[in-house]
Amino acid sequence: MIEQFEITLPEFRRGFHLITRTIEQSMPVFPEKGLMNILIKHTSAALTINENADPSVRADFEKVFNRLVPENQSYYSHTLEGADDLPAHIKSSICGQSLTLPITNHRLNLGTWQGIYLCEFRTHGGPRSLVITIYS
């Protein structure tokens, strides 16, 4: 069986945000076993899985990504939407737009210290749409 839902996340400030609970609470019921795929329908934000305990990890992610893909570079040509636009596209390609997670015993089967991150790369990204597909 395949079920599909679409949820809209509220606007988040630029950075890396844990959204695991938001996703879990948006689902009516998880099957006993299966897979969940999450797609973010945007090219300037992304999804990833990483540590869910220490918030300094998320702050350090932001610092590292900003050093890897800095804003205001003279060689960028895609600049009409602001200094953060092209860097946001590149950063989202590095992280990716989808995740596939196992479901076991009616729960996401994540590691003890794992959480789902919304990676917001725009200063004013706005609400973000996710398509969640569950295969059971």
What average pLDDT is seen over the chain?
A: 97
State the Cα–Cα distance between residues 41 and 98, nearest whole angstrom: 9
Q: Are 114 and 101 in contact (CB under 8 A)?
A: no
CATH number of the domain bearing residue 82: 2.60.120.460
The string of DSSP letters for 53-111 reads: S-HHHHHHHHHHHHHHS-SS-TT----TT-TTHHHHHHHHHHH-SEEEEEEETTEE---
pLDDT digits (tens, 9 = 90+) for 20-75: 999 999 988 899 999 999 999 999 999 999 999 999 999 999 999 999 999 999 99
Residue 117 has pLDDT above 90, yes or no: yes
Q: Among positive and negative, which fits the CA dihedral 62, 96, 107, 29?
A: positive
- Which residue(s) pair with 103 in the sheet? 34, 108
Domains identified in the chain, total number: 1
* Euclidean distance between the first and the last CA atom of the chain, given in angstroms as a whole number: 5
| pLDDT given for residue 93 in this prediction | 98
Residue range 4-33: mean pLDDT, rounded:
96
Report CA 132 to chain centroid distance, whole Å.
Answer: 12
Report CA 48 to chain centroid distance, whole Å.
Answer: 5
Look up the domain containing 115 and give its range: 2-135
Residue 116 has pLDDT above 90, yes or no: yes
